[in-house]
């Protein structure tokens, strides 16, 4: 067996164990009783240690060197070898003891966070988060040496390969200069129109679920390879052949939950569209979280908040809840789904103010990693930042620094990918519509095959065969930029 083929065999086993970790995380968030916490921590730790040992096996380095000395002719195999080396670098930077400590700390902190968030008690979770941050800094330190980048960039690389703060700073500075004035413009234009009115509830959870599943199906979600459930924090997990979407429901408002379902469906469609031939290989995985978020925001923001989509979906919404009257008409629903409002909660934010939420978290996590902000001062810094960026101040930590799961489960360096994804979504959608001008009319009829087919061909099927910017250039002719996103906002809200 050649060195490359041996590497494929080894990485297939690593990927399968990684999928098991993902399924256990899903179960922990959706079904696991509180009494399972200790057992789940042991299971996750054992699996993570096992995969770490496989990635740091001394034989792996020799196999990589041998395979790289005579690169495969197949470009996908060469790309796969590149991704294997990147995974090897990340793993070999960390001692097994650090992997174990990080796994245990994150599991413990996430479980306490669930209770602390409900109880609005940051002090309760603080010591657990301090342990996670301390270990995260250790991870950042050893990985930055191995990757030859800053400590924050070493964390970012786990979610956005080769991501660099200088690039993010440039993109975010452009948005930060554009959004404050534009937000005022959007709010002024909104004030000139009739108010959006939420249809009268209640909206029974079961009817919301049925509507959500129906709309997931129209987009192309395969229920033979996935399902919809409930969790505290909506997410898309599972594996390409068994995608698990979660949402949360409110009886008095179906709109946020429904858009949450559609957002996660975008993630799921990306996973379902990855190439079967490269399943279980690094090159067959999604290309980082910026493009993953682009697919969720493409569906939720670009498509499902458009007037064309609501022309199709409004009758289904009325039927689901027995609604009638002007509140259920397309004009009102469009105003409702494109309403600009300074909101405390990121996942409920509109697309005009959403980047401010991300920029705040990006600034704070960089300051925390660089030890420029004490963790005990996070609530105050968060509230000050919200006031500075959005002009609102959270009344409590539940609406402030306790709202997101990411830091509490160890996902540091993840947040900037949300707004990078919003920019990529606008750029991809604009290109798709230029190349296939009938997409908007098809959407109004509930036909998403043109759009999803374009994404399958130009993004999903390419997986991790190239970098984010290379994939964006192949699909749109340009690397990631802000022009398309700003043009989209101006057309919809300006």
CA–CA distance, 370 with 133 (Å, rounded to integer): 11
Q: Which of 129, 156, 183 is the last residue of a domain?
A: 156
Q: Among 140, 156, 172, which residue terminates a domain?
A: 156
Based on the fold, state whether residues 14 and 121 are members of the same structural domain.
yes
The encoded tokens of residue 457 equal: 């061909």
- Between vectors from CA 86 to CA 83 and to CA 89, what angle results, nearest 5°? 155
What tokens does 67 get? Answer: 């395979």
Q: pLDDT below 50 — which residues of the chain?
A: none
116 plus 203 within the same structural domain = no
Residue 456 and residue 449 in contact, taking contact as beta carbons nearer than 8 Å? no
Whole-angstrom Cα distance, residue 14 to residue 281?
Answer: 9
- According to DSSP, the β-strands at 236-239 and 242-247 are antiparallel
H/E stretch holding 389 reads helix 378-390
pLDDT at 56: 96
Domain co-membership, 370 together with 350: yes
Residues 241 and 103 in one domain: no
Same domain, 44 and 113: yes
Q: Which of the listed residues 156, 171, 203 is the one where a domain comes to its end?
A: 156
Pair 132, 187 in one domain: no
Task: Report the distance separating Cα 397 and Cα 403, nearest Å.
Answer: 8
Q: What is the 3-state secondary structure (H, E, C) of 206-256?
A: HHHHHHHHHHHHHHCCCCCCEEEEECCCCCEEEECCEEEEEECCCCCCCHH
At residue 1, the pLDDT reads 64
Say whether both 65 and 199 belong to one domain. Answer: no
- Taking the C-alpha atoms of residue 225 and residue 243, their distance in angstroms, rounded to an integer, is 6
- Are 56 and 179 contained in the same domain? no
One domain, residues 78 and 220: no
Rounded to whole angstroms, the Cα distance separating 88 from 84 reads: 6
Residue 407 exposed, middle or buried by CB count within 10 Å (0-12, 13-18, 19+): buried
Q: Angle, nearest 10°, between helix axes 96-119 and 37-55?
A: 150
Which of 279, 282, 300 lies closest to 236, judged by CA?
A: 300
- pLDDT tens profile 31-78: 999 999 999 999 999 999 999 999 999 999 999 999 999 988 999 999
Pairing state of beta strands 226-230 and 236-239?
A: unpaired
pTM: 0.93
- Domain of 228 in residue numbering reads as 163-494
Q: Any idea what the CATH number is for the domain that residue 409 is in?
A: 1.10.1370.30
CB 201, CB 255: distance < 8 Å = no
**Count of structural domains, the chain:** 2
Q: What is the DSSP letter of 461?
A: G
The residue with tokens 């709109």 is 255
Query: Which two three-digit tokens encode residue 217?
Result: 């199906």
My answer on whether 118 and 189 are in the same domain is no
pLDDT of 347: 85
Are 287 and 310 in the same domain?
Answer: yes
Any idea which residues carry the catalytic annotation?
Answer: 264
pLDDT by residue (tens digit) across 248-268? 999 999 998 999 999 999 999
Cβ 88 vs Cβ 61: under 8 Å: yes
Q: Do residues 134 and 278 share a domain?
A: no
């Amino acid at each position: 067996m050649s060195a490359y083929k041996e590497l494929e065999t080894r990485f297939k086993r690593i990927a399968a164990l990684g999928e098991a970790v993902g399924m256990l995380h899903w179960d922990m968030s959706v079904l696991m009783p509180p009494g399972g916490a200790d057992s789940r921590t042991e299971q996750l730790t054992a699996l993570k240690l096992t995969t770490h040992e496989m990635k740091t096996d001394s034989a792996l380095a020799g196999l990589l060197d041998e395979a790289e000395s005579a690169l495969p002719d197949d470009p996908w195999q060469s790309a796969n070898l590149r991704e294997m080396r990147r995974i090897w670098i990340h793993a070999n930077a960390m001692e097994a003891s650090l992997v174990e400590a990080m796994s245990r700390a994150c599991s413990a902190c996430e479980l306490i966070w669930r209770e602390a968030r409900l109880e609005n008690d940051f002090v309760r979770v603080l010591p657990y988060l301090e342990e996670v941050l301390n270990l995260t800094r250790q991870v950042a330190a050893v990985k930055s040496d191995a990757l030859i980048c800053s400590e924050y960039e070493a964390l970012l690389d786990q979610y956005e390969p080769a991501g660099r703060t200088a690039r993010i700073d440039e993109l975010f500075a452009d948005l930060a200069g554009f959004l404050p004035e534009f937000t005022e413009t959007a709010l002024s234009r909104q004030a000139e129109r009739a108010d959006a009115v939420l249809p009268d509830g209640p909206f029974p959870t079961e009817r919301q679920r049925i509507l959500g599943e129906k709309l997931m199906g129209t987009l192309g979600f395969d229920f033979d390879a996935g399902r919809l459930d409930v969790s505290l924090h909506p997410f898309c997990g599972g594996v390409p052949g068994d995608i698990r979407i979660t949402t949360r429901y409110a009886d008095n408002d179906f709109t946020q939950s429904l858009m949450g379902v559609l957002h996660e469906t975008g993630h799921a469609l990306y996973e379902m569209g990855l190439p079967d031939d490269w399943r279980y290989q690094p090159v067959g995985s999604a290309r980082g979280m910026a493009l993953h978020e682009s697919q969720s925001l493409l569906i939720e923001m670009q498509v499902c908040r458009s007037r064309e989509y609501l022309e199709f979906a409004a009758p289904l919404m009325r039927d689901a809840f027995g609604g009638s009257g002007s509140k259920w008409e397309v004009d009102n629903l469009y105003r409702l789904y494109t309403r600009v409002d300074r909101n405390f909660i990121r996942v409920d934010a509109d697309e005009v103010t959403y980047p401010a939420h991300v920029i705040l978290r990006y600034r704070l996590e960089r300051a925390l990693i660089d030890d420029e902000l004490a963790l005990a001062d996070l609530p105050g810094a968060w509230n000050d930042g919200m006031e500075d960026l959005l002009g609102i101040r959270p009344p409590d930590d539940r609406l402030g620094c306790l709202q997101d799961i990411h830091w509490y489960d160890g996902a540091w360096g993840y947040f900037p990918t949300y707004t990078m994804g919003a920019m990529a979504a606008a750029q991809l959608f604009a290109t798709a519509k230029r190349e296939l001008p009938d997409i908007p009319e098809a959407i109004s009829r509930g036909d998403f095959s043109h759009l999803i087919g374009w994404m399958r061909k130009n993004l999903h099927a390419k997986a991790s065969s190239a970098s984010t910017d290379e994939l964006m250039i192949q699909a749109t002719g340009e690397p990631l930029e802000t022009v398309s996103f700003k043009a989209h906002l101006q057309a919809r809200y300006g």
